[in-house]
Amino acid sequence: MLTSLCLVAVCHLASGTDIPEMPVWYTSKTPYPEPLYTVYPEPPAGFSLINIQHVARHGSRGLSSRDADDLLMQVWLQAQYEQALTPLGLQLGADLMEILRIHHDIGYGQLSGLGRTEHKAQAARLLERIVDASALEDLEREIHVIHSGRSRAIDSGTAFIDGWLQLRPQDESRFLEPVADEHTVYFHSAEGSEGYADYRRGERVQQVLSYYESLEQTEDVARAIVEALFTKDFIQRLDGGAYWFVALDDDSDVIESSFDVAMAVYDLFSIAINLTEEYAPDFLAYVPEETRMWLAFIDDADSFYGRGPGFADETISFELAGNLVSDMLARTNAVAQGESTEFATVRFTHAQALMPIAAWLEFPDAHQGADPAVPFSYENNPWRAARVAPMASNVQWDVFQNGDGEVLVRVLWNERIAPLGRGCEAYFEGFYRLEELNRCLGS
């Protein structure tokens, strides 16, 4: 009795409600919160694992491009030249030098040591989850590897496979050559995504983001950050247009205001927590406590409209995730019908896929669009990038079949049981009949 109760209790905890708490000012660059429990509900007797469908964001990384570090260094050097640094501002210089050095060593947009660790550990937990599966021992059943084509995604796949082979070296020949497939895992950059690109850069999104930037609270937060670093005269010159700092690698990345400085400081804080294995300095000292929530909110709003649920009256910000779901369904059906010998397909991509698929599948708190007349806020919407798509976030389907050919799919989100939306009826908690998934998720 205790065992079954304990299992039920743990399963409930592993059902997506045991998300480890993290600082409320973490957003899309949150390192992966490993599940507190990895005990899952099992399928009924007679069902055995036949296939796994997996898609994950790359692991923790450095800055995606040379911007916040380079730009802030330019601002700092100008302030130093004008003797316009506060004592904290003086300290910032050494930390900027260190973060620039780290990026020189690992490269911009690259996986960090923590990122590799995250994916190696995910492979180990997946194997632990399916350890009794007889199909795992059928070395003729191949494993497909798909990525976005960008190095951090490719390297995440390599780390995942390394983690897998450390435990099962006999599987080396099962992993097929990794291939890039933008259509299914990088659909916002693939052919046919022009409508999304127009939306992402279009007036509707820019208007709502400009609205947030215009708010008095944004001004107050920016001032609190810059006044801790620079003299008032320097800040007045900065906001008066006296300077125009441009990123060396991309002239669209500029700092020309206190707001730009504040977001750059926040970006460095956000990325430093991805670089713990590189001993990156802690930028939290430069983000006063009273500013953190609002900066996180501004960052989340950009992700929410850019690749999350977006506006409630349209689906353009996430509808292309249907390409990925269709691929997962097609492969599952092919194996169930005996038309494919794949054991698993593992995919490695970006927030641009994991945020939209969470909205498309209508996972809890991941899909509520914003009323066009009432902009997204932390008060009116539960969406948080740190929970929806942290680094290495993932969706996994464990596919089971019995002797009668019936198929059940265990749906996991960030390695926890998660209920699907879109009217999908669960067979029981965490499990869906494949025919139900074809009905509620099929195109």
By the criterion CB under 6 A, which residues form the site for ligand LH4PNPC7? 28-29, 57, 64, 303, 306, 350-352
Q: In the block, which residue shows the tokens 């993290």?
A: 22
- CB nearer ligand LH4PNPC7, residue 79 or residue 102: 102
User: Cα–Cα distances in Å, from 77 out to 81, 97, 227?
Assistant: 6, 11, 16
- CB nearer ligand LH4PNPC7, residue 47 or residue 266: 266
Report in angstroms how near the CB of residue 126 gets to ligand LH4PNPC7 at its nearest: 21
Report in angstroms how near the CB of residue 223 gets to ligand LH4PNPC7 at its nearest: 23
Report in angstroms how near the CB of residue 254 gets to ligand LH4PNPC7 at its nearest: 14
Residue among 382, 206, 227, 376 at smallest CA distance from 291:
227
- CB nearer ligand LH4PNPC7, residue 64 or residue 74: 64
Burial class (CB in 10 A: 0-12, 13-18, 19+), 392: buried
Beta carbons within 8 Å of 304's beta carbon, 6+ residues apart: 310, 370, 376, 381, 383, 385
- CB nearer ligand LH4PNPC7, residue 307 or residue 410: 307
| Identity of the amino acid at 307 | R
Report in angstroms how near the CB of residue 352 gets to ligand LH4PNPC7 at its nearest: 6
Residue among 129, 16, 25, 120 at smallest CA distance from 416:
16
Report in angstroms how near the CB of residue 57 gets to ligand LH4PNPC7 at its nearest: 5
- Spatial distance between the Cα atoms of 260 and 243, rounded to a whole number of angstroms: 12
Phi (first) and psi of residue 298, to 5 degrees: -60, -40
Report in angstroms how near the CB of residue 64 gets to ligand LH4PNPC7 at its nearest: 4
Residue among 312, 315, 273 at smallest CA distance from 296:
273
Residue 51: strand pairing partners: 399
Report in angstroms how near the CB of residue 27 gets to ligand LH4PNPC7 at its nearest: 7
- CB nearer ligand LH4PNPC7, residue 254 or residue 440: 254
- CB nearer ligand LH4PNPC7, residue 141 or residue 150: 150
- CB nearer ligand LH4PNPC7, residue 158 or residue 303: 303
How much helix, strand and coil, in percent to the nearest 5, is found in the chain?
Answer: 50, 10, 40
- CB nearer ligand LH4PNPC7, residue 119 or residue 350: 350
Beta carbons within 8 Å of 360's beta carbon, 6+ residues apart: 318, 319, 321, 322, 325, 367
- Spatial distance between the Cα atoms of 264 and 135, rounded to a whole number of angstroms: 49
| Six token digits for residue 37 | 């429990």
User: Cα–Cα distances in Å, from 140 out to 174, 337, 341?
Assistant: 7, 17, 8
Report in angstroms how near the CB of residue 82 gets to ligand LH4PNPC7 at its nearest: 29
Residue 237 neighbours by CB distance under 10 Å: 17
Contact 399, 51 (CB under 8 A): yes
- CB nearer ligand LH4PNPC7, residue 124 or residue 209: 209
| Six token digits for residue 246 | 């441009």
Report in angstroms how near the CB of residue 148 gets to ligand LH4PNPC7 at its nearest: 8
Report in angstroms how near the CB of residue 350 gets to ligand LH4PNPC7 at its nearest: 3
SS (H, E, C) 112-152: CHHHHHHHHHHHHHHHHHCCCCHHHHCCCCCEEEEECCCHH
Report in angstroms how near the CB of residue 195 gets to ligand LH4PNPC7 at its nearest: 16
- CB nearer ligand LH4PNPC7, residue 93 or residue 149: 149
| Six token digits for residue 6 | 């304990």
| Identity of the amino acid at 205 | V
- CB nearer ligand LH4PNPC7, residue 78 or residue 189: 189
